[in-house]
Amino acid sequence: MQDFMQLDRNLKLRSLTVFLTVLLGSSIGPNVTVYYVEYFGAFITGFLLIAVSVAGFIAGLYGGHLADVLGRKKTILIGSAMIIGGYALAMLMNSPWYTNPYITFVGFLTASVGASFADPAEQAMMIDSSTLKNRKFVFALIYWIINIGVMIGAAVGGWFFRDYLFELLMGSMIVGIINAAIIKWGMAETLDMTTVKTNSSVWSAIKSYGHVLTDKRYLLFMFGTIFSVVVYSQPDFYLAAHLAESFRDYTLFGIHFYGQRMLSFMLVINTVLIVLTMSAFNHMTNRWPLIRGYMIGTFLQGLGFAMAFLLRDFWPLAFTAVVFTVGEMINVPSSQTLRADMMNPEKLGAYSGAFAATRPLGNIVAGVMVSASHFVGNIGAAVMLMVGVLIAIYSVATAAKMKASF
């Protein structure tokens, strides 16, 4: 608590806005796919989800550039307005008197794009407001808050989405307004606007990212992070497929566990452990060099998933969930602090926007691994994952030793 009270005012309020944002996203986001399938069918839904991902990616890049020329706060507020407007539109299109799934998609798309647009500015503001001394604590705190938000938001969405969608969307819109009010009247701009040459054009954005692409150290770090994404995204990719096909059904306290339910249980273990023990792990590893925390955390996280690929029974799989969660808790604060330390302080928005590309690229590699597993089996998938772990560790460790080029 003492560490929290010593934080910059922006960071204290950021803790609250992160919780509210994640609460919104996790109560709506996971259920949107079910909504689309109900109205459009699985085939069309796939294209809709791709469109949302592509739009979000582009919005993140442009939002990252604007964070460096318009300011963090203004960019976040623009994104917040899009989120509020998107949820308001979706609410009106799912009222007790009228339903229109087509315009609802436009509303959800607008909200998703708004979140992606604001994210680089939010990341940049958090780096601006933190110091080298407290940055690791800040990232650990935010990560802990995110998990609490996901846990509560998923429960709220699962309870209300199907039967009370209008009320849920109304609540989401109100929470979005509260979030925007906190940002507008509570937070201070962290970018020195006197040093900024304002140019919000698309060509200016392209040139801004051109500078990022000349930073070999950061590019190598991003390359390693792509393979880190492959590791932590496994619950959405090969682990899900493996459990669906190979898990031996098990009954515990009258509850029947099959593949999909086992995956959910492993994720519950993950979230609960993070919420209950993140602070303790952060305290234990606080004095570790960042690269040591990244290497040990990434290795344990990858090892836990690789072990899960080879197992089919309840208790051994539950143990692997503990292993990859411990690795995650060690890895996340170190990797995010390393990323912040490698960014050019004058282009934090652009660097944050460029970093957003690592997730879709990592997901593509993870998808290829699922397809390749058809030929190499569980053992081959585990080996491929551990090779990815070694690539991630080597790339990030090498980048950490390189000198800054800015």
DSSP symbol at 343 = S
CA dist 152 and 27 (Å) reads 8
Residue-wise burial string across 332-360, b where 16 or more C-beta atoms lie within 10 A, e elsewhere: bbbbbbbbbebbbeebbbbbbbbbbbbbe
CA dist 296 and 286 (Å) reads 14
- Smallest CA-to-CA distance from 59 within 18, 105, 120, 102 is with 120
What pLDDT, in 10s, does the model give residues 245-282? 888 888 888 878 887 778 878 888 888 899 899 888 88
Give 211's contacts (C-beta < 8 A, 6+ positions apart): 344, 347, 350
Q: What is the pTM assigned to this prediction?
A: 0.80
Residue 208: predicted pLDDT: 67
Residue 195: predicted pLDDT: 64
Residue by residue, DSSP assigns 3-24 as: HHHTS-HHHHHHHHHHHHHHHH
- Smallest CA-to-CA distance from 360 within 134, 49, 30, 18 is with 49
Q: Provide the CA 245 distance to its chain's centre, in angstroms.
A: 27
pLDDT by 10-residue block (mean), the chain, 406 residues: 77 88 78 82 80 85 86 93 96 92 95 91 88 83 86 78 87 92 91 65 66 87 92 81 83 80 83 88 86 94 94 93 94 89 82 82 81 85 94 94 73
Instruction: Output the CA angle 67-69-73, nearest 5 degrees.
Output: 45
What pLDDT, in 10s, does the model give residues 49-91? 778 888 888 888 888 888 888 888 999 999 999 999 999 999 9
CA dist 73 and 188 (Å) reads 7
- Smallest CA-to-CA distance from 249 within 240, 238, 260 is with 260
Task: Using the structure block, give the residue that is written with the tokens 């273990």.
Answer: 269
- Cβ pair 90, 111 in contact under 8 A: yes
What pLDDT, in 10s, does the model give residues 14-44? 888 888 888 887 788 767 877 888 888 878 8
Domains of the chain: 1-200 (1.20.1250.20), 211-405 (1.20.1250.20)
- Smallest CA-to-CA distance from 36 within 26, 28, 27, 46 is with 46
CA atoms within 13 A on the CB side of 64: 28
Burial group, residue 67, by CB count within 10 angstroms (0-12, 13-18, 19+)? buried
- Cβ pair 96, 150 in contact under 8 A: no
DSSP symbol at 153 = H
